[in-house]
Homo-oligomer: A and B are copies of this chain.
Amino acid sequence: MGKAWPDTRRVTFLPSGLTVDIEIGETLLKAAQNAGLHINASCGGSGVCGKCRVLLKTGSVAGGLTEKLGEPDRAAGWRQACTAVIENDVTVEVPAGSGKLAGGLSTGVAERHRSRLRKYDIDELRQAGLLQPPVEKLFLELPRPSPVDNMADAKRVIQGLHNQYDEKAMVVSLSVLRKLRRVLREDDFRVTVTLARPVHVYKGKNFLVNIQPGNWTSRSFGLVFDIGTTTIYGQLIDLNTGKILDGAGDYNGQISYGEDVINRIIYAETPEGLATMARVAAETMNRLITKLLDAAGIDRDEIASITIAGNTTMTHLFLGLEPHSIRRAPYVPVSTFFPPMRAGDLGLELPHHCVALIFPAISSYVGGDIVAGVMGAGLYRTEALTLFVDIGTNAEIVIGNRDWLVCAACSAGPAFEGGGITHGMRAADGAIKDFSLDPETLEPMNITIANRPPLGICGSGLLVIVAALLSHGVIDRRGKFTRHQTSPRLREGRSGWEYVLAWREENGADCDIAINEVDIDNLIRAKAAIYAGIKTLVEEVGLAIGDLEQIILAGAFGSFIDLDAAMAIGLLPEVDPAKITYVGNGSLMGGRLSELSNHIRRDVVEVVGRMTSFELSEVNGFKDQYIASLFLPHTDLELFPTTAARLGLKKIEAKFSKAFPG
């Protein structure tokens, strides 16, 4: 967090002459990937297959010397690109068979785009005078009581706040009253008071929630949490500077009771199930809180405020609200607004005075995490017509600008999280996350997370694999293998035709890792749901896809999407990639803003009020849009002119159209 601009070195690839700047410590394989060069690498960059050898011409690298390279080769300058780590500027030659340009679709686009990751605009807030945390510490030097000035201790503090800071109405909480006498006298009536200004609910009155002897104004901290279905992330914030002091994440402890929201709801409907869900989420959060505080050397008592966002089901489970109706038509949540509460009432090990703000939701399937994302990404303040999309099992879509906002959720299914894919897996170590194909041999370059031997395919890898197979004509626009190429990697498997990504001996699994037509069909259905959702929503407000001026991708998955691949398969509308921004965890971003600015909190209420939610299943035409999207990239190529031209795609033939008369 907050790390300095990376120190980069330049890598030049021969014979193409392509160059790329890349951080010290990255591998040559990664550099090739970023340059859009294909290098055969079946083993995911783990050094096992020995196929990614390159010849060092100038400069030096660390490592890259595996048992696959004999001593003569090593001496000649051969290195394995997957394990050769960059230290200096370097020039390498890629042997014939590798080093081809990856074709119509380059790989590593996501990596390059990520440099456009939207930075949190704390400075912008400060400049606009909006950096006014809802919790603030003020130092008071008060006169001692005397026979002619014997007002109550509480009144003395309130009067001091009025005199020194022009603070007016004030409610002193019971916990402060209980220690007030002692604290006032501990450092001769010099105290630090913590004020909470919970704008959402109470107008006019502020709350005095804590008091400490002496001056502690420099130590004012808050927490931000994103309760994801899979992962819970937390950040520790310095409320004086706006800086993120540390971040931490861990699997949501609820995961052992169900992988997705529906299974969690089912569990929560059992006796004690809901209480268990709430407790288990709080336990995960408590572990993260302890970790963050311990690392930063901050006392638990110094946390006066926590902002929490999550999807509607996660929010319900955490708060102990019955989620039963969320999974049944007409999909009614218990509430979309949540009162300010005491963190302690939610099972969090935080001081009694710590106030918890829970981000409001829009509907059962557009939750507080999306609202936080809309706030964090500034969508509600931009003039440009923007599409905000958070892709997961459920994709949430928001379209609009500062004048209006509409939103909807589409059920994409678990394909993007590796679910329903024969060799699918979560984005964990060993997951194929990037890929390219030698156009002639159809040999793969598999890039895995942590450069481990491949174990399976994660969502972002799946996108790139399918896009590459499409762009090289290995599959057609229906996602079926064309079979007009031959390669040992193309074969008929148990579930029909498939492409073998990594042979058993190259991978970390106990069988060949392949992708088959059923997998591809699952991906197509998933992307079709999202694209159809976007198109339906855009048209529902009287606009066309072409009117979109900006796309914001949020969420963990969104951060790893290869844009070209996403457009090639028709997951995202085709726009100039320069108009696409990644915000990463938008939920944390929005939560952080909310921890830092009461103005933002006020805006949240206002934004939620004007976000119109559509139930796609109730919108005429959504089903037609969905069916029309069940092609790569789409039935209507005019929606994807650049992709179509680049990949040489042709209008879909009549025989397919007939199959889907809608």
Contacts and interface: CB of A to CB of B under 8 A. Distances in A.
Contacts of A338: 174, 177
A164 B155 CA distance: 42
A449 B341 CA distance: 53
Q: Which of A204, A320, A321 has the most CB of B within 10 A?
A: A321
Contact of A334 (B154, B329, B330, B339): B154
A330 B155 contact: no
Given A201-B205, A203-B204, A205-B201, A341 B150 contact: no
B202 A152 contact: no
A603 interface: no
A362 to B, nearest CB: 9
Copies per complex of this chain: 2
A177 B358 CA distance: 13
A537 interface: no
Contact of A330 (B147, B321, B324, B331): B147
Contacts of A202: 201-203, 205
Given A202-B205, A339-B174, A345-B174, A330 B145 contact: yes
Interface string A145-180: 111111111110000000000000001111001101
A331 B155 CA distance: 14
A322 B153 CA distance: 11
Contacts of A558: none
A535 B615 CA distance: 76
B177 A319 contact: yes
Interface in A313-354: 319-322, 324-325, 329-339, 341, 345
A201 B207 CA distance: 10
A579 interface: no
Contact of A172 (B147, B155, B325, B339): B339
A116 interface: no
A335 B152 contact: yes
Q: Which of A149, A171, A180, A618 has the most CB of B within 10 A?
A: A171
A147 B329 contact: yes
A68 interface: no
Contacts of A204: 203
A338 B171 CA distance: 8
Contacts of A152: 332-337, 363
A181 interface: yes
A623 to B, nearest CB: 15
B201 A151 contact: no
Nearest to A181: B322
Contact of A148 (B145, B174, B201, B618): B618
Given A321-B181, A322-B182, A325-B181, A335 B205 contact: no
Interface in A379-428: none
A145 B337 CA distance: 18
Nearest to A147: B330
Contact of A201 (B171, B330, B335, B336): B171
B319 A615 contact: no
Contacts of A155: 335-337
Contacts of A324: 181
Contact of A171 (B339, B345, B363): B339
Nearest to A329: B147
Contacts of A322: 178, 180-182
Contacts of A203: 202-205
B171 A321 contact: no
A177 B330 contact: no
Q: Which of A149, A178, A321, A334 has the most CB of B within 10 A?
A: A334
A146 B331 CA distance: 9
A177 B146 contact: no
Contacts of A319: 174, 177-178
A559 B181 CA distance: 36
A344 to B, nearest CB: 11
Nearest to A156: B332
A341 B175 CA distance: 11
Contacts of A178: 319-322
A177 B329 contact: no
B618 A153 contact: no
Contacts of A148: 618
A339 B320 CA distance: 27
Which 7 A-B residue pairs are closest in the complex by CB-CB distance?
A154-B335, A150-B330, A181-B322, A152-B336, A147-B330, A202-B202, A152-B333
27 contacts: A145-B332, A147-B329, A147-B330, A147-B618, A149-B330, A150-B331, A150-B364, A152-B335, A153-B332, A153-B333, A155-B335, A155-B336, A155-B337, A171-B201, A172-B335, A174-B338, A177-B321, A177-B338, A178-B319, A178-B320, A180-B322, A180-B335, A181-B322, A182-B322, A201-B202, A202-B205, A203-B204
Interface of A: 145-155, 171-174, 177-178, 180-182, 201-205, 319-322, 324-325, 329-339, 341, 345, 363-364, 615, 618
Given A147-B329, A153-B335, A180-B335, 14 more contacts: A147-B618, A150-B331, A150-B615, A152-B336, A153-B334, A154-B334, A155-B337, A171-B339, A174-B345, A177-B338, A178-B321, A181-B324, A203-B203, A203-B205
